[in-house]
């Protein structure tokens, strides 16, 4: 029986995508082999990889001014690749600290450059984002980095930070969830395991004028220019991840593209937040203007009930609702593939749990 999977990642995939992959698993494209078995240098897979790139460009509105790279190592790998590709030793790089993933990116960047945290919302317990005009980005900074959506805290930017330097976004948990202004950024990167496909693939979208700046000591695997020149195939790419990304992009297009995803996700998030806000039993700590559409953390008036809530929910087919270990409580990740029916099932369960334990 399929459950409603509220995991923050690896997250649920669209049922239609999984069914198509299942049907093609033993014989992909008439090859008599699984897509996991064909050569990444073969004509069929090279053509498929090109189609996936074209689909991503179409769906996200990525112009030819940008290179699109399909790499491995997740967002964590890019935490290091970004300063190695965009700065020289001793250069200043600017970061906004809005939560746990921002902090991880900052810690990694400090190994390679002089990090200036130009805004930090820790004093609010990461329940808000820095307001435009409230901070200054050094004119000599190599770039400004931010995390549009913090998965652990359920915090989301409602704007793109403005800067006179390249803006870099870790879009891992919100990519493909709605239209996004690619042209306002120098670099966008995202792990695939939320809205794009399985874990093991990371997509990097980099403005071409920022290529060719990697430090000499940058590992070849992290050199964006080398990867762009080789169509992301300097070694064997994550072929199955690329294949599933292609199927997922087809599903997005068939369901209204990014405007369709936005309408779907806004409706789900509103239903869940409206229920939480109308309850005296549950609460969400994030300022309403900055609540994530993708990750909805919530607390109960009695934290001692947390484990029981998670266990009873799982028994009801609602899985992976435990909050991150660093913050506790519960968290419902409601990415693109989560249907409204899944969110409604969660709300119904929450109502019953409140009735019996409130």
332 beta partners: 296
pLDDT at 328: 84
What pLDDT was estimated at residue 195?
A: 97
CA 154 → CA 5, 57, 192, 332, distances in Å?
A: 17, 28, 18, 9
Whole-prediction pTM:
0.96
Task: Summarize the confidence of residues 221-227 as an average pLDDT.
Answer: 97
Q: CA 157, CA 163: separation in Å to the nearest integer?
A: 15
Q: Beta partners for 4?
A: 318
Which of 292-328 are b and which e, b meaning 16 or more Cβ less than 10 Å from the residue's Cβ? bbbbbbbbbeeeeebeebbebbeebebbbbbbbeebe
What average pLDDT is seen over the chain? 96
What percent of the chain has pLDDT above 90?
Answer: 97
223 is catalytic: no
Give CA separation, 96 vs 147, 159, 167, 296, in Å.
Answer: 8, 13, 11, 22
The confidence score (pLDDT) of residue 327 equals 84
pLDDT in tens, 236-286: 999 999 999 999 999 999 999 999 999 999 999 999 999 999 999 999 999
**270 is an active site residue:** no
Q: Which of 28, 100, 103, 194 is catalytic?
A: 194
For residues 1-22, average pLDDT: 95
Which of 28, 103, 170, 268 is catalytic? The answer is: 170
Q: Given the residues 28, 100, 101, 103, select the one marked as catalytic.
A: 101
Q: How confident is the model at residue 123 (pLDDT cuts 50, 70, 90)?
A: very high
pLDDT tens-place string over residues 179-206: 999 999 999 999 999 999 999 999 999 9
Q: Is 64 a catalytic residue?
A: no
pLDDT of residue 358: 79
**Span 102-123, average pLDDT:** 97
The secondary structure of the chain, three-state, reads CCCEECCCCCCCCCHHHHHHHHHHCCCCCCCCCCCCCCCCCCHHHHHHHHHHHHHHHHHHCCCCCEEEEEECCHHHHHHHHHHHHHCCCCCEEEEEECCHHHHHHHHHHCCCCEEEEEEECHHHCCCCCCCCCCCCCCCCCCCEEECCEECCCCEECCCCCCCCCCEEEECCCCCCCCCCCHHHCCEEEEECCCCCCCCCCEEEEEEHHHCCCCCCCCCHHHCHHHHHHCCCCCCCCCHHHHHHHHHHHHHHHHCCHHHHHHHHHHHHHHHHHHHHHCCCCEECCCCHHHECCCEEEEEECCHHHHHHHHHHHHHCCEECCECCCCCCCEEEECCCCCCHHHHHHHHHHHHHHHHHHC
What is the tens place of the pLDDT at every residue in 307-336? 999 999 999 999 999 998 878 899 999 999
How many other C-beta atoms can be found within 10 angstroms of the C-beta atom of residue 205?
22
pLDDT surpasses 90 at 148: yes
Mean pLDDT over 58-85 rounds to: 97
The reported pLDDT for the residue numbered 92 is 98
* Phi, psi angles (nearest 5°) of residue 278: -85, 0
φ, ψ for residue 310, nearest 5 deg: -60, -40
- 86 to each of 92, 100, 151, 173, 344, how far by Cα in Å? 11, 23, 26, 23, 45
Cα 267 from chain centroid (whole Å): 19
* Torsion over CA: 290, 295, 298, 303 (sign): negative
C-alpha torsion sign, points 207, 212, 215, 219: positive
Query: How high is the pLDDT of residue 351?
Result: 98
Angle at Cα 49 formed by Cα 43 and Cα 50, nearest 5°? 90
Per-residue CA distances from 338 to 52, 65, 262 (Å): 23, 33, 13
């Amino acid at each position: 029986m399929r459950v409603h999977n509220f995991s923050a990642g690896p997250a649920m995939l669209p049922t239609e995508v999984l069914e198509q992959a299942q049907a093609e698993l033993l014989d992909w494209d008439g090859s008599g082999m699984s897509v996991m078995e064909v050569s990444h240098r073969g004509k069929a897979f090279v053509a498929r990889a090109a189609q996936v790139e074209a689909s991503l460009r179409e769906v996200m509105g990525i112009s030819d001014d940008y290179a699109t790279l399909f790499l491995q190592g997740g967002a964590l790998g890019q935490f290091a690749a970004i300063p190695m590709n965009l700065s020289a030793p001793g250069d200043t790089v600017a970061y906004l600290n809005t939560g746990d993933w921002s902090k991880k990116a900052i810690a990694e960047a400090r190994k390679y450059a002089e990090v200036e945290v130009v805004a930090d919302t820790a004093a609010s317990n990461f329940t808000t984002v820095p307001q435009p005009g409230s901070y200054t980005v050094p004119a000599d900074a190599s770039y400004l980095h931010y995390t549009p959506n913090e998965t652990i805290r359920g915090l989301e930017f409602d704007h793109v930070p403005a800067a006179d330097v390249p803006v870099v976004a870790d879009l891992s948990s919100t990519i493909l969830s709605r239209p996004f202004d690619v042209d306002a950024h120098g670099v966008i990167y995202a792990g695939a395991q939320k809205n794009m496909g399985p874990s093991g693939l990371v997509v990097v979208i980099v403005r071409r004028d920022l290529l060719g700046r990697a430090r000499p000591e940058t590992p070849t695997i992290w050199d964006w220019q080398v990867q762009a020149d080789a169509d992301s195939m300097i070694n064997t790419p994550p072929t199955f991840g690329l294949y599933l990304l292609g199927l997922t992009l087809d599903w997005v297009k068939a369901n209204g593209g990014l405007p369709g995803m936005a309408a779907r996700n806004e409706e789900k998030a509103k239903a869940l937040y409206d229920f939480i806000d109308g309850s005296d039993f549950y609460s969400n700590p994030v300022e309403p203007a900055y609540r994530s559409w993708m990750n909805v953390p919530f607390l109960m008036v009695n934290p001692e009930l947390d484990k029981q809530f998670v266990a009873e929910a799982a028994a009801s087919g609602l899985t992976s609702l435990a909050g991150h270990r660093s913050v506790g409580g519960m968290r419902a990740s409601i990415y693109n593939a989560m249907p409204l029916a899944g969110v409604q099932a969660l709300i119904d369960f929450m109502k019953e749990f409140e009735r019996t334990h409130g």
